[in-house]
Amino acid sequence: MDGSQPVRITQDGDHQVVHLPSGVAAPADAVVRQEGDRLIIERAGLRMGSSARLLARLATMEPIDEELGEIDDPPPEPVNL
């Protein structure tokens, strides 16, 4: 079994409401997407475009101690307009 459980979906005006079964909790900060016949609810994470989340993630990363060396970046060729 893949851990799937049946849910009930009801209509509330222009919105649909997904009733989650006991023991299943969606994160408070979630996104939903549809892939074919599947509806996927997952933690929002960096998908929400939050700069605060990105900064928090970057703060947990180790610095990269790698030398890039010289970068060849000549000036652009002149253009005759």
Res 73: pLDDT: 92
Q: Tell me the backbone φ, ψ of residue 75, rounded to 5 degrees.
A: -65, 155
| Identity at 56, one-letter amino acid code | A
pLDDT digits (tens, 9 = 90+) for 23-50: 888 887 888 888 899 888 888 765 545 6
Residue carrying structure tokens 């990269």: 64
Compute the CA torsion angle 56, 61, 62, 66 (nearest 10 deg).
Answer: -110
Residue carrying structure tokens 């919105």: 15
Domain ranges across the chain: 8-58
Q: pTM surpassing 0.75?
A: no
Give the Cα separation of 45 and 30 in Å (integer). 8
> DSSP letter at 61?
S
Share the mean pLDDT of the chain: 84
